[in-house]
Structures are given as structure tokens and as C-alpha cells.
Amino acid sequence: MTHWQVQDAKAHLSEVIERAQGEGPQIITRHGAERAVVLSMEDYRRLAAGSGGFKAHLLGGPKVGEFETPRSRDTGRDFDF
């Protein structure tokens, strides 16, 4: 992935877009910190199609019958009151 400073990305926006289509995501930095990513529409649609939102994420987890909860066979200790 190529890194661009904000001022360079602004000055060469067409090139940033072309590289996103041909080479992959382009990272834009400000003061040395990564701030944004430019993606091709193809990459964006592929990422967006994979997520069905928060509700789908929660519903996509393991179902109650799909996992076992180990139970201790320990019966505890005897004690006097």
C-alpha cells in the first residue's frame, strides 16, 4: 500500500484514484499518522457486501446448541453450621 501525505494526495487526487484501482488501497497520512484510505469501488463493494450490519454480526455468532459448557463434577465440601 502506498502512503500519501494529505497535501500530496490533494495535489495528485487523480493519480491516487488510479493507483487505488490498479495497485490497491492508498493510505493518506497527516502529521505521520494514518488518517484515511482510498479504495477502488470494486474493493469497497466487496467489503460492504460482506457485512450485514451489527444485527447480522450478532446473529452470525455460535448458536446455543453449537457449543458445550464444561461442568465441574465437584460436589463441594461438607461443613457444619
Break the chain into its structural domains and give their ranges.
2-58
**Superfamily for the 2-58 domain:** YefM-like domain (3.40.1620.10)
The contacts found for 26-30 with CB under 8 angstroms, 24 or more apart, are 26/1, 26/2, 27/1, 27/2, 27/3, 28/3, 28/4, 29/3, 29/4, 29/5, 30/5, 30/6
Interatomic CA distance for residues 57 and 1, integer angstroms = 28
> Residue 67 — pLDDT band, cuts 50, 70, 90?
low
- Asked if the model's pLDDT at residue 69 lies above 90, the reply is no
Given a contact cutoff of 8 angstroms between Cβ atoms, the answer to whether 1 and 25 are in contact is yes
What residue type is assigned to position 73 of the chain? R
Q: Is the pTM of this model over 0.75?
A: no
What's the pLDDT score for residue 66? 65
- Tell me the pLDDT tens digit for each residue of 11-64: 999 999 999 999 999 999 999 999 999 999 999 988 888 767 788 877 877 777
